[in-house]
Amino acid sequence: MLMHGGGQTRHSWSGTFEMLVDAGYRVVSYDARGHGESGWSADGIYSYPLRVEDLRAILADTRGPFALIGASMGGVTAMQAVGEGVRPAALVLVDIVLAPEKVGIERIRNFMLGNPDGFANLEAVVDAVAAYNPHRPRPQNTRGLMRNLREGPDGRLRWHWDPRILPPDADEDLSRIGSVVNVFKSQQDVPLLLVRGVQSDVLSADNVAHFLQTFPQAEVLDVAGAGHMVAGDSNDAFTQGIVDYLRRCLPVAAE
């Protein structure tokens, strides 16, 4: 089960999706509530318990063991789900921990809140992404970006998510994550892989050390050359690490 980060869509996992299928897994990747082609909450509420209800609905037809792979917001949702009793055979958290760095959270928020009036064209979108991810090469083919955008009646391009998903400030954002941590911290029996982008400003070495103190069963995969958007920054290395982990925790049946 692939669970994307805030401000992304299911297409953020495209390369990972294909590699996991090639490795023999059934893979589900969905747009979280308020993102992409999924509906927006009429009341503008996007709590993590509500996101877990959505996850349970998607898992309803799942028989047998499964893995949750969550990036950033998706990872926090996965932690909330496990804390509420969802029992995956493996949990993979991508660049998210119990207490992420505030500076990294603020930078994400600034990017997501930037350009509230949208973009005049796709090139302006590429410029904004390049400013946020200066280490990532500019894409030669920008058509894939349109999956994360919607065109308004004024002809301008806007991100394909509800602006109300963001709490009012970074402190509130971290407080919501802290509430999730409180229900998750006792789950020290679930197989757990923490994936960290080496260039991420959301996770520091201290963050990871603290995480391992709380979850001694966890393994850590450092992905060189990747920032917070690990899956997009270094997809092959990232996905191969996940495949290797799943082969041990959730091996594909012989048939």
Instruction: Give pLDDT, residue 52.
Output: 97
**pLDDT, tens digit, 9 for 90 and up, residues 104-136:** 899 889 988 888 899 999 999 989 988 887 777
DSSP 190: S
If one counts every other C-beta atom within 10 angstroms of the C-beta of residue 102, the result is 13
* Per-residue pLDDT at 198: 76
Query: DSSP character for 90?
Result: E
Instruction: Give residue-wise pLDDT tens across range 27-51.
Output: 999 999 999 999 999 999 999 999 9
Q: Which tokens go with 78?
A: 């996965």
Question: Is pLDDT above 60 for 255?
Answer: no
Task: Classify the C-alpha dihedral 168-169-172-178 as positive or negative.
Answer: positive
Domain 2-101+174-249 has CATH 3.20.20.70: no
- What is d(CA 125, CA 157) in angstroms, rounded to the nearest whole number? 8
Q: What is the CA radius of gyration of the chain?
A: 17
Give the single-character DSSP code of 252: P
- CA torsion through residues 37, 40, 46, 51, sign: negative
- Contact between 94 and 230 (Cβ < 8 Å): yes
pLDDT tens per residue, range 122-178: 999 989 988 887 777 776 777 778 888 999 899 999 999 999 999 888 999 999 998
